[in-house]
Structure 1
C-alpha cells in the first residue's frame, strides 16, 4: 500500500502549453480518490505523471514517502486501466490476466488459482477462455481491471474506464469497481468527467479546471460547501441557480441582495453576515440549488425579502419529480468564466453565423428581436430562469405565476473572483503537505 503526495507539481508541454499548474495534493493510503473535471483540465495528465508515463516539469511526486520523479514506471509498483481496456487481442481473458504473473515468475498453479478467484469476483469466470473481440465493452473492462489487480499493486490508477460504456452498464460497473478496490485496500486514483461517478465512488475527490486545483474534500463536503462557483456549478444536477446580485448593508434591515428587479434580505443575526458585509456595494454570485426553493400557495403571507417570484416558462418530467423553469428577470452568472484568467485579447471581425444567414434568407428576425435573454458575468447569454423542483402531484401549468421561499441556510455566496465569500470547512488532511525534501540532482525548474 502507499500514499501519494503532489508537492507543487507542474506540467508544461513544448510550446509553453501549461497542462497542470502548482498542484498540491495528498492521497491517503488505501483511499479511493477521484480526480474530477471537464475535458482538458489536467486530470489525466496528473494520473500519467503518477504512473511515470509523463515527465514532471516542476515540483515533486512522493510515493510512500519517497521522491519518485525519476523512478521508471516499472519501479513504481502501479497498475493502470485505460479508457478502452487495452487487452492483448491474441490472448484469452485468462491469458491476459495471467500475463503479469508469468512475467514476475509466479508459480503456475498458484497463478491459475488467483486468476479464477479474481475472475469470479469480477463476474467473468464463465468467459475466461474467450478472446477480447468476442466480449462486450463491459466484459473487456472487467478483464482489464482483473489484469491490473492480479499483480496486487500498491497503487491502482484508472483513467475514465467507464466513459465508453452505456449508462446502465456504467451504473452497474461503478458499484462493482468501488466495492472491489475497497475490498483489496489498494490506494486507487480514479479519473472521470462524470460527477455522478465521482460523487458515488469517492472517499475524497479533487475538482480541477484549466490545470488548477479548485477544491478537495469528501463528496458531501464539496457538494454542500463548495470552495468556488465553478465547483458549485460542476457538481450540480439539476443545475444550480447562479444569480448576479449587488450586496448592500442597510442599517436596521440587514444585508440586501439587489437582483435589479427583485430583492432578498439576509438578517444581521445570520452567522455569515460578518463575512458578507466586507462586500458592501460589490457584485457577488448567489448560488441557490433547486431543492432549496419551495413554491408557496398564492396569497400566502411571507416576510418581505424572503421570496423570489416569476412566471413558469417550461416544465420537465423526471418521473419522481418535475423540474420547473421560471422566468424571473434576474441576471445569471456563467460559472465557466468566473475566476478564469482572461485570455490574450485578439481582434477578429464579426461575421454572421450559419443560423444568422439562414434567418436572413428566410426573412426571420434575429434572436435579439425574438425572446429576451440576459447578459451576465462572462458574457455568456442565457435566459434569466430560476430552476426548482416540484413533487409529481403538485405540478403547475406553463404560464403560471409562482412565488418561491428559500432555505437561506443553504444559499452560497461567491465573490467576483469566483471564490466563496464565507468560510469553507474541510478536514485537516485534505491538502496535507509532505515533509521538507532534501536537495537532489533532478530538481526541475518551477513554473508559475
Structure 2
C-alpha cells in the first residue's frame, strides 16, 4: 500500500494546452479515491501522471513519502486498468492472469493457485480456460482487473473501467470492484464521469473542471455541502434548481432573497446570516435541490417567507414518484457559465491566444461581436420538484412549494459558496 500526494501539479502539452492546473491533493493509504468530472477535465491525465505515463510539467508527485516525478513506471509498483481491458487475445483468462507472475519469476504452482483463488473471488473461475474473444464485456473487465491485482501492487489505478458496459452490469461490477479493492487494502484511484459510480464507491472523491480541482471530500460532504455551483450541479440528479436572486438585509425581517416575482426570507437567527449579510444588495445564486421543495396540500397554511410557487409545464413518471417541471417566473442559472477559469490560451505568457489570432485573421470591416443575449439560455424551466406517488398531477396545475431553508445553498456570482464549507 502507498499514499499519493500531488503538490501543485501542472500538465501543459506542447503548444500551450493546459490540461491540469495547480492540483494539490492527498490520497491516503488504503483509500478508494475517485476522480470525478466531465470529459476533458484532466482526471485521466492525473491518473497517467501518477502511473508515470505522462511527464509532470510543474509541481511534485510523492509516492510513499518520496518524490516520484522522474521514477520510471516499472519502479512505481502500480497496476492500471483501462476502459477496455486490453487482454492478450491469444491467452486464456488463466494465461492473462498468470502473465505478470511469469514475468516476475514466481513459482508456477504457487502462481497457478493464486490465479484460481482470485478468479473465484472475481466470479470468473468457471471460464478461466476461455479466450477473451468468447467472453462478455463484463467478464473481460473482471479478467483485466484480476491481471492487475494478481501481482499485489501498492497502488491500483482504474480509468473508467465500466463506461463501455450496460447499466445493469455497471451496477453489479461497481459493487464487486469496491468490495474487492477494500478487501485487499490496496490504495486505489478510480476515474469516472459517472456521479453514481463516484458517490457509491468512493471513500473520498475530488471533482475537477477544466483541469482545476473544484472540491474534495467524502461523497456525503460534497453532495450536502458543495464548494461551488459547478459541483452542486454536477452531483445532482434530478438537476438542482439554480436561481438568480438579489439579497437584501431588512431590519426586523431578516435577509430577503428577491427573485423578482417571488421572495424567500432567511431569519436573522439562521447561522448563515452573518456570512450572507456581506452580500447585501448583490446578486447571489440560490441552489435548491428538488427534494428540498415539498408541495403544500390544499388548505394547508403556507409558512411566511419559505414558499415558492409555479405552474407545471411538464411531468415525468418515475414509478416511485413524479418529477415536475414548473414555470415560476424566476431567472435561472446555467452552472456551465459560472466560475469557469480563464481559457487555457491565457496561460502561454507573451503569446496571443488562439481566439485573438483567429479574430485578426478573419476580421472584416463590418465584423461585429455577437450581442450578449445571443449566448443563449439553456434551461427552459424555473423549478424542478418531486411529487410523491399516489398523486394525479396534470400539466397546468399550480403548486405552492414549501422550501426547506436549512438545506438551501448560497453561492456568489463567482460560483463559490457564500457560507462556510465544512470538511
In the alignment, which residue of structure 2 is the partner of 1:409? 406
Matches within 5 A, 1:431-446: none
> What TM-score do you get using the length of structure 2 for normalisation?
0.92
- Pairwise CA RMSD of aligned residues? 1.4
1:267 and 2:267 matched:
yes
Secondary structure of the corresponding residue to residue 243 of structure 1: strand
Q: 1: CA distance between counterparts of 2:298 and 2:338? A: 36
Q: 2: CA distance between counterparts of 1:94 and 1:322? A: 49
In the alignment, which residue of structure 2 is the partner of 1:296? 296
Q: 1: CA distance between counterparts of 2:278 and 2:378? A: 29
Q: 1: CA distance between counterparts of 2:147 and 2:133? A: 16
Structure 2 spans left out of the alignment, 5+ residues? 344-352, 364-372
Matches within 5 A, 1:218-257: 218-257=218-257
1:291–1:388 Cα contact (<8 Å) kept: yes
> What TM-score do you get using the length of structure 1 for normalisation?
0.87
1:2 and 2:5 matched:
no
Post-superposition offset of 1:394: 2.1
In the alignment, which residue of structure 1 is the partner of 2:29? 29
Post-superposition offset of 1:396: 1.7
Secondary structure of the corresponding residue to residue 86 of structure 1: coil
Q: 2: CA distance between counterparts of 1:114 and 1:239? A: 46
Matches within 5 A, 1:12-161: 12-161=12-161
Structure 1, 142-151 or 320-329: larger mean CA deviation = 320-329
Post-superposition offset of 1:326: 1.1
In the alignment, which residue of structure 1 is the partner of 2:397? 400
Secondary structure of the corresponding residue to residue 314 of structure 1: strand
Q: How many residues of Structure 1 are paired with residues of Structure 2 in the alignment? A: 400
Residue by residue over 1:330-353, the C-alpha shift from the partner in whole angstroms, topping out at 9 and shown as x without a partner, is 01111111001354766689xxxx
Q: 1: CA distance between counterparts of 2:66 and 2:377? A: 46
2:325–2:381 Cα contact (<8 Å) kept: no
Post-superposition offset of 1:398: 1.1
Q: 2: CA distance between counterparts of 1:324 and 1:116? A: 52
Post-superposition offset of 1:304: 2.8
Residue by residue over 1:278-327, the C-alpha shift from the partner in whole angstroms, topping out at 9 and shown as x without a partner, is 01111111000000100112343223321101101111011111101111
Q: 2: CA distance between counterparts of 1:261 and 1:383? A: 17
Structure 1, 334-343 or 156-165: larger mean CA deviation = 334-343
Matches within 5 A, 1:349-428: 379-426=376-423
1:258 and 2:255 matched:
no
Residue by residue over 1:52-71, the C-alpha shift from the partner in whole angstroms, topping out at 9 and shown as x without a partner, is 00000000000000100000
1:331–1:384 Cα contact (<8 Å) kept: no
Secondary structure of the corresponding residue to residue 337 of structure 2: coil
1:2–1:155 Cα contact (<8 Å) kept: yes
1:330–1:384 Cα contact (<8 Å) kept: no
Q: 2: CA distance between counterparts of 1:381 and 1:118? A: 49
1:313–1:325 Cα contact (<8 Å) kept: yes
